[in-house]
Copies of this chain bind each other. A is one copy, B any other.
Amino acid sequence: MTTAPPDRSAERSPTTAAASGGLSTETALRLHDLMLRSRVLEERLITMYKQGDGYFWIGGPGEEAFNVPLGLLVDKGQGLDHDYLHLHYRSSGTLLAMGADPIDSLRQMKNTASDPYSKGRNFAGHYSVRKWNVAPVSSPIEVQYSIAIGTAQAQTKKGTKGITIVQGGDAGTAEGDFATCLVWSSRKGRELPILIIVTNNKFGISTPYEGQHGESRIADRGKAFGMQTATIDGNDPETSFHALKKAIDYVRTERKPYLLEAMVSRLHGHSSASGANFVKDEVDCLTRFEQRLEEKKVLSRAQMDEMRAKYTQEFLTASQKVREEPQPKAETIWDHVFADKNYVGGEN
């Protein structure tokens, strides 16, 4: 299965009439397609887990309305002239929107040798794509916020238009690394071009947001540092698209930090450790968006059902393929302990 990278011209200059709020029909369709695809991908991953085709699932169902626009708006590419992404383990929507092949997610789920993100070493959702500046997702919460300042600093020094984007959950903001990111990115006269995203699903595993936070809004923590901040409904793709566009444009142009908090849902609980079953009492961004598209007659229910069936079949087939792919060999544990070349420095 190879998927052509999404055509991105539409999103950059929305020419057609607004089909769903302020989005062009093309953009709305593109968003829907990718949201649906990532939802179905996550469902396939969960099924694989439940059927014993993987040891652990964690992922992003419920964050698609935010993560897909993010993937579309990123300046994708390799090196300082493009955007760096320091994501968390719920970012499949972003990756698919950037053009990742979904079968590779299945490979990581099944920990095959062909898993391009970690060679069967890491859990599902732990992406790493150097050619697109997607830094390795690492399980420890929040460390990406301390690391992201480094790619942003590199971009400042070189004076590129590239920016750095870092993303993580709400509970994780209690770690000192979140504060590190705020402190280092806002130093007066030394501001960093970094978009700091918090995807707030109001939970850290089992622990509710309430009772753990003195801030009414996490985004408020940026204010003392003189940062632009916003808290948005991340369940709305339109809102997300525009808010992200605004924030990214600001960071790209002003070369200063922006703290964006997106309220999102956690539709299958924290991970397979908590069962991974669908949670009914949260807003489902996809359902809501599909309703709107139907109302606005952009897509019919039947069309959407058909798309879903198609993707479901596509990923089922892919998972069957992946099941046949070889597992990594024991002796491969010794591969990649030390690099012999400076790949990130341009050697090959």
**Which residues does A use to contact B, with CB under 8 Å?**
174-180, 182-191, 210-217, 220-221, 223-227
Tell me the minimal C-beta distance from A255 to chain B in angstroms: 14
CA distance A190 to B176 in the complex (A): 20
Q: Which B residues are in CB contact (< 8 Å) with A190? A: 211
Q: Which B residues are in CB contact (< 8 Å) with A217? A: 224
Q: Which B residues are in CB contact (< 8 Å) with A175? A: 176
The reply to whether A188 and B176 form a contact with Cβ atoms under 8 Å apart is no
CA distance A174 to B149 in the complex (A): 14
Q: What is the oligomeric copy number?
A: 2
Among residues of B, the one whose C-beta sits closest to the C-beta of A185 is B214
Tell me the minimal C-beta distance from A182 to chain B in angstroms: 7
Q: Report the 6 A-B pairs with minimum CB-CB distance, sorted nearest first.
A: A176-B176, A186-B214, A179-B179, A214-B225, A220-B224, A221-B224
Q: 17 pairs across A/B with beta carbons < 8 Å? A: A174-B180, A175-B176, A176-B180, A183-B213, A183-B214, A186-B215, A187-B212, A187-B214, A188-B211, A188-B214, A191-B214, A214-B224, A214-B225, A215-B226, A216-B226, A221-B221, A224-B224
CA distance A187 to B179 in the complex (A): 17
Q: Which B residues are in CB contact (< 8 Å) with A213? A: 183, 187-188
CA distance A184 to B211 in the complex (A): 10
The reply to whether A211 and B187 form a contact with Cβ atoms under 8 Å apart is yes
